[in-house]
């Protein structure tokens, strides 16, 4: 997604460049053999909360194919779209709300009968990558990007840097129809496998053009946000893939590549491409656009004399040192990009692969840039079989580098109460950067999808219910509860997840997002103490949910295999349980959040009507001269003065 808080570094018109202070989304994926449950896992944090955003988790129902499918520019803010033909939740409300005008159309019906792609004909033997032959689309859970569909296909997004830019057809200089938002939705409408999703997205993007809504404008192109990566996982064939896409030559069409994550490996994306050398003959592992190397050759981004092997990221990732005239600025930007992406890759690999010597020996100082360096991070890392659990991904998403030298809960910027959040904009003149944690104040939501298909049929109609589960958590991952939803069930998330009242500009107890955000905002008054309470509560609820979910799945599947319920009625029963559970947790979270205000009010920890303790500032913080406590004087505290300056005479007695 696009960045909003940007600082113009160079105003010379010939060399306009932006330094990203905020960029969004961390993705991880685990292959079927690496995952505990023998199906791939995918995780995503959506960190776009630096701008008002549409907070709804919506179910888009199945619909019949149309000759012309409208294509929209999806808005980041509420409403992300107004088009009743997509979903009831996207209908105008109030009825006077003007529908979005499509920026174009793509054919839908003919695509199902012809080959999904003209560009990957060599893979035709993989018949299963053809789109569905049905006359309807698949239903799916939807956010700004699609999340997971009813037949076990799920995607997770992260925006990337690139050497090209492009804009939608309704903007000056725009030649393109499709954003990653639309591409992800089209893929989930049509496909049940990762290969199908990649073929469909890739071929449509080549034909109709791909743009990234973070690419700025022709006058001020932003190369730090002009491309996309998706992790794509499917239950049907158990495959996990990474898809990288950018706009093609002359700001039009698209260039893309996809690489399969080995079944026994994990992979991480943190706002950069990760596909490196492509083996053009290995169709088990690689897919790519026609002409994938042509633009790189034409522009001199790839020199086959120097590098016989084509490296996708090295060729198409944005390299400030190569592209920017002002080398001092280029160097600053390069350093930011290097660690902005690399540090999270390093950390996620370490957390998800605790027993891999390769993951544990990655160097956090190498970072991640198009140009390969000694010790660069790999595309994927093999892990012990069945070692990666949903819980590992949840813990990874809640991380702030705790216990490492990059720990954001430590140091002066974290304050006396160890707050890892750094929400305020940095001073315009200041040159610098905070570490970029995985869990952030601006994370709007995050999820882990555990795709799944049941191996034996429990239903009367002989079809397999799809037990894929999207574990979805609102607001900051370090202060959320991940709640299970079944993308295959017609039962939508509870109303509070689709609220039209609870907007980022309108606090509302009608909205589940606000329950979690409310507690998390309050936690910033004493992060260490209050977040610890929130995490403990969340952990208790999550353990309870694991037990409840297993129990209701067992009972519903068993009773239906005895009584012979249909697959859709099984999914309806499961979805109803999930819907009620989600709302019951939200209903439990509100009074819990309110009670935090009682417990931590007045700088106290209030246990009951007769007993309270005072919250404590740590000694290292009190001792700091900048704080002014240890250097208090009758004529005023000694604060706001750099630490290394001589303090006036020491104060002997400190009254409390
Ligand atoms: C493509 O975008 C670049 C950067 O804004 C611009 O300089 C160039 O003129 C554009 N090319 C075309 C064909 O529109
Ligand atoms: C491939 O690249 C060549 C040279 O840039 C161009 O003439 C041709 O149209 C491209 N083909 C496709 C399918 O993009
Ligand atoms: C790592 O190895 C230890 C010791 O063998 C084992 O207990 C633990 O479960 C392993 N963890 C993972 C994630 O594989
Ligand atoms: C804001 O939320 C309140 C409380 O839920 C609701 O009554 C009100 O209609 C909402 N306002 C808007 C503009 O959505
Ligand atoms: C109040 O809380 C404190 C600390 O938990 C406890 O020791 C004490 O017994 C409580 N008093 C009452 C009256 O509950
Ligand atoms: C009832 C139903 O939709 N079953 C589907 C579950 O997903 C698999 C693919 O993973 C389909 O083959 C089933 O038809």
* 320-356 pLDDT tens trace: 998 899 999 899 899 989 999 999 999 999 999 999 9
Find the mean pLDDT for residues 495-522.
97
Indicate which ligand has the atom closest to the C-alpha of 499.
Answer: 4
Interatomic CA distance for residues 46 and 52, integer angstroms: 13
> Which of 89, 81, 109 minimizes the C-alpha distance to 179?
81
Asked whether 235 lines ligand 6 (CB < 6 A), one says yes
The helix/strand/coil state of 220 is strand
Residues 91 and 130 in one domain: yes
Tokens 């406590």 — which residue?
A: 629
Residues 72 and 217 in one domain: yes
Residues 118 and 54 in one domain: yes
283 token code pair: 């169709």
- Cβ atoms of 182 and 81 closer than 8 Å: no
Using pLDDT thresholds of 50, 70 and 90, give the confidence band for residue 454. Answer: confident
Q: Which of 118, 246, 294 to mutate to test the pocket of ligand 2 (most atoms within 8 A of CB)?
A: 294
Interatomic CA distance for residues 204 and 189, integer angstroms: 14
Examine the pLDDT at 156 and tell me if it is beyond 50.
yes
Residues 462 and 569 in one domain: yes
Find the mean pLDDT for residues 176-204.
98
Give the closest residue (by CA) to ligand 6 atom 4: 464
77 falls within a domain = yes
Give the DSSP H or E segment for 645: none
Percent above pLDDT 70 for the chain: 89
Contacts of 633 (CB under 8 A, 6+ apart): 648, 649, 651
Burial class (CB in 10 A: 0-12, 13-18, 19+), 44: buried
pLDDT of 323 reads 87
Atom nearest to 235 CA in ligand 6: 10
pLDDT of 351 reads 98
Using pLDDT thresholds of 50, 70 and 90, give the confidence band for residue 643. Answer: low
pLDDT of 61 reads 98
Residues 272 and 371 in one domain: yes
Q: Which residues have C-beta atoms less than 6 Å from ligand 4? A: 501, 503, 506, 508, 510
Find the mean pLDDT for residues 565-575.
92
638 falls within a domain = no
Give the closest residue (by CA) to ligand 5 atom 9: 611
pLDDT of 511 reads 98
Segment 35-58, tens digit of pLDDT: 999 999 999 999 998 899 999 999
Query: Higher model confidence: residue 624 or residue 278?
Result: 278
Residues 460 and 392 in one domain: no
Q: How far is the CA of 464 from the centre of ligand 6 (A)?
A: 6
Q: How far is the CA of 294 from the centre of ligand 2 (A)?
A: 7
**Contacts made by residues 240-243, CB under 8 angstroms, sequence distance 24+:** 240/29, 240/30, 240/31, 240/32, 240/40, 240/42, 240/194, 240/267, 241/194, 241/195, 241/198, 241/287, 242/29, 242/267, 242/269, 242/274, 242/275, 242/379, 243/197, 243/198, 243/201, 243/202
Find the mean pLDDT for residues 608-616.
97
Residues 208 and 292 in one domain: yes
Segment 21-36, tens digit of pLDDT: 446 799 999 999 999 9
Residues 95 and 136 in one domain: yes
Cis-peptide into 34, omega within 30 deg: no
Examine the pLDDT at 12 and tell me if it is beyond 90.
no
Indicate which ligand has the atom closest to the C-alpha of 451.
Answer: 6
pLDDT of 110 reads 58
- As beta bridge partners, residue 68 has 107
Examine the pLDDT at 128 and tell me if it is beyond 70.
no
Find the mean pLDDT for residues 413-435.
85
Separation of first and last alpha carbons in the chain:
49
Phi, psi of 234 (to 5 degrees): -140, 140
Q: How far is the CA of 463 from the centre of ligand 6 (A)?
A: 7
Segment 367-400, tens digit of pLDDT: 999 998 899 999 999 999 999 999 999 999 999 9
Asked whether 421 lines ligand 3 (CB < 6 A), one says no
300 falls within a domain = yes
Indicate which ligand has the atom closest to the C-alpha of 248.
Answer: 2
Domain tally, the chain: 2
Domain-ending residue, one of 425, 446, 467: 446
pLDDT of 644 reads 63
In angstroms, how far is CA 337 from the centroid of its own chain? 18
Interatomic CA distance for residues 457 and 8, integer angstroms: 58
Examine the pLDDT at 258 and tell me if it is beyond 80.
yes
Give the closest residue (by CA) to ligand 4 atom 4: 508
Using pLDDT thresholds of 50, 70 and 90, give the confidence band for residue 439. Answer: very high
Give the closest residue (by CA) to ligand 2 atom 3: 294
pLDDT of 3 reads 34
pLDDT of 331 reads 92
247 falls within a domain = yes
Residues 387 and 463 in one domain: no
Asked whether 463 lines ligand 6 (CB < 6 A), one says yes
Asked whether 297 lines ligand 2 (CB < 6 A), one says no
433 falls within a domain = no
Distances in Å between the Cα of 25 and the Cα atoms of 101, 163, 211, 340, 349 are 28, 20, 18, 11, 16
pLDDT of 635 reads 73
Q: Which of 77, 94, 510, 518 to mutate to test the pocket of ligand 4 (most atoms within 8 A of CB)?
A: 510
Q: Which of 171, 218, 252 to mutate to test the pocket of ligand 1 (most atoms within 8 A of CB)?
A: 218
Examine the pLDDT at 11 and tell me if it is beyond 80.
no
Indicate which ligand has the atom closest to the C-alpha of 297.
Answer: 2
pLDDT of 118 reads 35
Residues 110 and 230 in one domain: yes
Distances in Å between the Cα of 227 and the Cα atoms of 182, 213, 311, 497, 509 are 14, 9, 16, 29, 37
Domain-ending residue, one of 430, 446, 462: 446
pLDDT of 646 reads 63
Residues 442 and 477 in one domain: no
412 falls within a domain = no
Distances in Å between the Cα of 318 and the Cα atoms of 26, 97, 161, 273 are 19, 40, 5, 10
Find the mean pLDDT for residues 106-124.
52
Residues 103 and 141 in one domain: yes
Segment 292-320, tens digit of pLDDT: 999 999 999 999 999 999 999 999 999 99
615 falls within a domain = no
Asked whether 387 lines ligand 3 (CB < 6 A), one says yes
623 falls within a domain = no
Cis-peptide into 94, omega within 30 deg: yes
Examine the pLDDT at 90 and tell me if it is beyond 50.
yes
The whole-chain average pLDDT of the chain stands at: 90
Domain-ending residue, one of 416, 446, 476: 446
Indicate which ligand has the atom closest to the C-alpha of 266.
Answer: 3
Q: How far is the CA of 251 from the centre of ligand 1 (A)?
A: 6
418 token code pair: 């160890």
Atom nearest to 249 CA in ligand 2: 5
Q: Which domain holds residue 490?
A: 454-606
């Amino acid at each position: 997604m696009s960045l909003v808080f940007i600082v113009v570094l160079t105003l010379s018109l010939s060399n306009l460049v932006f330094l990203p202070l905020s960029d969004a989304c961390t993705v991880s994926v685990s292959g079927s053999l690496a995952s505990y449950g023998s199906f791939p896992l995918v995780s995503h944090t959506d960190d776009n909360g630096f701008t008002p955003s549409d907070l709804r988790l919506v179910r888009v129902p199945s619909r019949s194919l149309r000759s012309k499918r409208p294509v929209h520019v999806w808005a980041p803010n509420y409403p992300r779209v107004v088009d009743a033909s997509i979903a009831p939740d996207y209908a105008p409300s109030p009825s006077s709300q003007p529908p979005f005008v499509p920026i174009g159309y793509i054919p839908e019906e003919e695509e199902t009968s012809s080959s999904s792609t003209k560009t990957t004909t060599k893979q035709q033997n993989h018949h299963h990558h053809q789109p569905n032959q049905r006359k309807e689309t698949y239903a799916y859970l939807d956010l700004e990007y699609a999340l997971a569909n009813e037949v076990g296909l799920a995607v997770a997004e992260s925006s990337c840097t690139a050497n090209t830019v492009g804009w939608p057809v309704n903007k000056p200089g725009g030649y393109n129809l499709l954003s990653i938002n639309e591409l992800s939705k089209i893929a989930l409408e049509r496909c049940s496998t990762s290969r199908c999703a990649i073929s469909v997205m890739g071929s449509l993007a080549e034909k109709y053009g791909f743009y990234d809504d973070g690419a700025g404008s022709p006058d001020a192109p932003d190369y730090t946000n002009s491309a996309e990566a998706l992790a794509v996982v499917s239950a049907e064939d158990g495959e996990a893939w990474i898809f990288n896409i950018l706009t093609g030559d002359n700001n039009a069409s698209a260039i893309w590549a996809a690489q399969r994550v080995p079944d026994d490996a994990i992979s991480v994306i943190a706002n950069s491409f990760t596909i490196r050398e492509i083996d053009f003959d290995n169709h088990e592992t690689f897919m790519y656009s026609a002409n994938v190397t042509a633009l790189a050759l034409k522009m001199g981004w790839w020199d086959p004399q120097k590098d016989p092997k084509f490296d996708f990221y090295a060729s198409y990732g944005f390299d400030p040192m190569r592209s920017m005239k002002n080398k001092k600025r280029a160097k600053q930007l390069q350093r930011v990009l290097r660690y902005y992406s690399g540090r999270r890759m390093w950390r996620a690999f370490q957390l998800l692969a605790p027993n891999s010597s390769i993951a544990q020996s990655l160097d956090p100082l190498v970072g991640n840039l198009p140009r390969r360096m000694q010790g660069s991070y790999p595309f994927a890392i093999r892990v012990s079989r069945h070692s990666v659990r949903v819980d590992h991904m949840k813990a990874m998403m809640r991380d702030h580098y705790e216990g490492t030298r990059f720990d954001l809960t430590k140091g002066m910027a974290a304050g006396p109460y160890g707050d890892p959040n750094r929400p305020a904009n940095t001073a315009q003149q200041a040159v610098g950067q905070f570490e970029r944690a995985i869990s952030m104040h601006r994370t709007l939501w995050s999820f882990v999808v555990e795709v799944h298909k049941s191996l034996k049929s429990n239903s009367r109609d002989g079809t397999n219910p799809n037990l894929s589960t999207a574990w979805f958590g609102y607001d900051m991952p370090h202060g959320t509860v991940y709640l299970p939803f079944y993308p295959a069930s017609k039962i939508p998330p509870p109303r509070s997840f689709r609220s039209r009242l609870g907007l980022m500009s309108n606090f509302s107890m009608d909205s589940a997002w606000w329950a979690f955000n409310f507690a998390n905002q309050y936690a910033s008054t004493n992060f260490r103490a209050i977040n610890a309470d929130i995490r403990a509560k969340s952990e208790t609820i999550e353990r309870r949910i694991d037990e409840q979910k297993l129990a209701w799945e067992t009972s519903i599947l068993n009773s239906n295999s005895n009584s012979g319920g249909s697959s859709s009625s099984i999914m309806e029963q499961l979805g109803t349980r999930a819907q009620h559970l989600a709302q019951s947790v939200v209903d439990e979270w509100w009074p819990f959040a309110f009670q935090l205000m009682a417990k931590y009010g007045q700088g106290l920890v209030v246990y009951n009507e007769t007993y309270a303790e005072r919250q404590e500032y740590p000694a290292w913080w009190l001792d700091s001269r900048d704080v002014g406590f240890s250097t208090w004087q009758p004529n005023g505290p000694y604060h706001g003065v750099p630490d290394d300056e001589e303090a006036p005479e020491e104060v002997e007695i400190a009254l409390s």
